[in-house]
Structure 1
Amino acid sequence: MRWREICGAGFAIVLCALASGARAQNPYGIGHPATAAEIAGWNIDIGRDGSNLPKGSGSVGHGRDVYAQQCASCHGDKGEGGLGDRLAGGQGTIGTPKPIRTVGSYWPYAPTLFDYIRRAMPQNAPQSLSDEDVYAVSAYILNLNGLVGADATLDAKSLAAIKMPNRDRFVGDARPDVGK
């Protein structure tokens, strides 16, 4: 039996035990089953194709202002890096001995930028930016990388339509027992 099948069988046994009432007994007297509202609050993932992007929009100009207030202290005034990662530049370096991995040189899908900013930034207050602010900061960072114009306004449709420079350079894992 392969390791994946063994793990799958073990997982199924654990699920059956939980379903049979072991969880319902709650021997420690803490916690509660998650409500639909609690689950919805965490179910904010964005697909690489832009699926699940929220309504709203944001401009490069508004993004410049939000970035200056919320992002520049870590990522530098123009995305050059500092305490936080470098966000701009590096195009053409991925295949070199010293690649510079930035949003514009490395990331394969633009919607993942929105997803990451909304989930994790700013680091001291994740999930504190409005969807409009996240669209705007995404637009500004993409503008710093030369991927949208200074007058761009992004929404779900336009963000999903951006083809990132490194999109076609990622390859799948060819090993037969991985990723299936």
Structure 2
Amino acid sequence: MSFQSTPWQTVGPYYRLGLEPLYRVEIAPAAALGERIEVQGQVFDGVGVPVSDAVLEIWQADAQGIYAHPEDPRHATHDPAFAGWGRVPTDDQGRFSFTTIKPGSVAGPRGEPQAPHLMVLVFMRGLLRAASARLYFSDASSNASDPILALVPAERRDTLVAQASGTGQYRWDVHMQGERETVFFDY
């Protein structure tokens, strides 16, 4: 009996073909309310090689901190121009880029306000389930009091923080493993 992985036991590059029609790199259309931003970065594997076939799925609240989801108690007042999600592929150098708006604060555990953030799922070869992370913004003073970010060891929090690199521009790299591994959450 062999315990080696076979092609049907791992996600290959083939899933990307099914997702291509669903790519959305402009998460916030021009009509969406809020501060427009661009996020750029790269996805790296465990030895630092860029991942050319990853897909990032982004979920976020609108500028008022309201999700475009019927279970959000304030759903009726969310920005109708903003759907709050996108799927962003990496290129042959593992690079990605998307535009959106900076989200508002949402309620966290026990109703505590959370710092503005994006929920990010990373899909790539070799993963049977997406890796789940958060992207926070380096210029958000509320990061210091975010109840979820506070659960992450202080020396690893920077793996979840996109650095401002210009007006409305942020840089955030995803490291799937290794010394600079991005913090991933189990939900």
Structure with the higher fraction of residues in strand conformation: 2
TM range, normalised to the smaller chain?
Answer: under 0.3
Structure with the higher fraction of residues in helix conformation: 1
